[in-house]
Structure 1
């Protein structure tokens, strides 16, 4: 236990501060690079407008650029909306995996204390048997007409 405490305190004192400093520096550098890239993109769009205005006239160029940017904005929103369900599914899977990991960690941490106590093995086997029985029950129950399968049993 003492080794774990010294490891955590050493990590918290020096390495975490250094990692935060590196992350902050990287964020500033990337923000400046993004700002420069946006300026360059703005000048490229301006140059494209000047070229289009010289070729098609200022009104047609302005209308073309306006419609083009509205189409781009619409496509971005549509892609975001269509990918929302997959993002929600990934979040749910990640949350389930995290909760499983937390549960296993808590169980492993509590195992030595439970085995030393008066209840001992019974304190562990009781909930484990109940959990196994519930899992068997859930596996063998057929969904009803209003159940999750929508009433179409296989």
Structure 2
């Protein structure tokens, strides 16, 4: 309840509006800086092109710059594809941890209600014993194949 009260008081005092204003100002400054950096990069590429035209000629320079930018684009796509599997595994681990935490929280929140109900302690101990038995079973069962199910490579 204290968190809600502090949020309400922060809204009432104008801190949230001031923080929003600061964030908006910072975003505008970063966008302007990014545009200036991209413009500078464009001029540097133009200067390199002009220098290369004087040295190699317009056709060779155009072909060289075109191939160079296509190679850069291809490298970016290859790196992105190679890192996609890692990102997917990281998201799956995070999602699993979040679901476990949610399940534990829900179980702890429901525990007092279950203990006061008709079944009492038996309503709680039955599922807990079943989960413990399943965990022991899973620990003692040998895996079917050599692949690790957590690495995302099974079945490929």
The aligned counterpart of 1:53 is: 53
TM-score normalised by structure 2 residue count: 0.78
Q: Deviations over 1:70-127 (max 9, x none)?
A: 1100101111111111111111111111111111221222223333333332222111
Aligned to 1:8: 4
Tell me the residue number matched to 1:32. 32
Cα RMSD (Å) of the superposition?
2.3
After superposition, the Cα gap between the structure-2 partners of 1:149 and 1:94, relative to the gap in structure 1 and judged at 3 Å, is same
Q: 5+ residue gaps in structure 2?
A: 148-156
Equivalent position of 1:139 in the other structure: 139
For structure 1, which segment, 15-24 or 63-72, has the greater mean C-alpha deviation from structure 2 after superposition? 15-24
Question: What TM-score, normalized to structure 1?
Answer: 0.79
Could you tell me how far apart the structure 2 residues matched to 1:24 and 1:111 are? Answer: 45
Count, aligned residues: 143
Corresponding residue of 2:129: 129
SS at match of 2:118: coil
Structure number with the bigger relative contact order (C-alpha 8 A, sep ≥ 6) is 2
